[in-house]
Amino acid sequence: MVAIFHNSRQNYGTRQIKVELKKLGHQVSRRRIGRIMKEQGLVSTYTVAQFKPHSSPCNESHQKNELNRKFDQTEELAVVVSDLTYVRVNQKWHYICLFVDLFNREMIGFSAGPNKDAALVYRAFASIQKDLRKMNISI
């Protein structure tokens, strides 16, 4: 069994060693193979973690929820929301940045391009024809 492990360049685990032993005509349980591997200090290279995974909260923002699901607005330009998404164009990804006024769900600005960068957002801001200085902005 140890020879099978070393011949596999220390890749085989209990399952594959059991298959190889069965080919040689030996009936051995995986539990026994695992016990022998543990006694001999044999660890498959595939069972050794290559990196330590760390969990980071995705899509978690430390910003205050100003809107609080009040999507129906009574004033024009009171609340403008944005979205950045991607679409497939000619086998490549392109990105779209939109600005929408929640008063009438009108798209007031947009930009599209092959790169997801700050310039895409700047172009979307520049495409807005309405005066955003009238907005009541609170950050």
Q: pTM of the full predicted structure?
A: 0.51
Alpha-carbon distance of 139 to 135, in angstroms, equals 12
As a residue count, the chain comes to 139
> pLDDT by residue (tens digit) across 62-100?
778 888 888 888 888 888 899 999 999 999 999 999 999
- Exposed/middle/buried for 135, CB within 10 Å: 0-12, 13-18, 19+? middle
Q: Where are the domains of the chain?
A: 2-40, 80-131
> pLDDT by residue (tens digit) across 3-48?
888 888 888 889 999 999 999 999 999 999 999 999 998 888 875 5
Angle 68-80-133 (CA atoms, 0-180°, nearest 5)? 125
